[in-house]
Amino acid sequence: MKRKLLIAIITVITFTACNTETKRKEPIKIENTEQVEKNDEIEKAFTKFKSFYAELIRFKNDADFKQLGFGKNSEYSKWFEKVNKFKKNPDSKFLIKKGVLIEELEQLGIAYVVSEGKETEVTKVFNKIFSDAISYKPIQDKKPTSSGNINYDRMKSDYELFGKWTIANTIVKQSYPYEIYKKENEYVGIKLNNFKIEGLSKKGTDYYVNGNKHGEFYRIDKNLKMVLFDKDGDLTNTGYKATKTAKI
Please state, in angstroms and rounded to a whole number, the distance separating the CA atoms of residues 124 and 112.
11
2 exposure class (CB count in 10 Å sphere: 0-12, 13-18, 19+):
exposed
DSSP conformation class of 141: S
To the question of pTM greater than 0.75 for the whole model, the response is no
Domain ranges (residues) in the chain: 2-134, 159-247
Are the C-beta atoms of 129 and 151 separated by less than 8 Å? yes
| Per-residue tens of pLDDT for the chain, all 248 residues | 444 444 444 444 444 444 444 444 444 444 456 666 778 899 999 999 999 999 999 999 999 999 999 998 889 999 999 999 999 999 999 999 988 999 999 999 999 999 999 999 999 999 999 998 888 645 444 454 566 687 788 888 889 999 999 999 988 888 999 999 999 899 999 998 888 899 999 999 999 999 999 999 999 999 999 999 999 999 999 999 999 986 54
Element (H, E) at 25: helix 2-59
- Amino acid identity for residue 246 in this structure: A
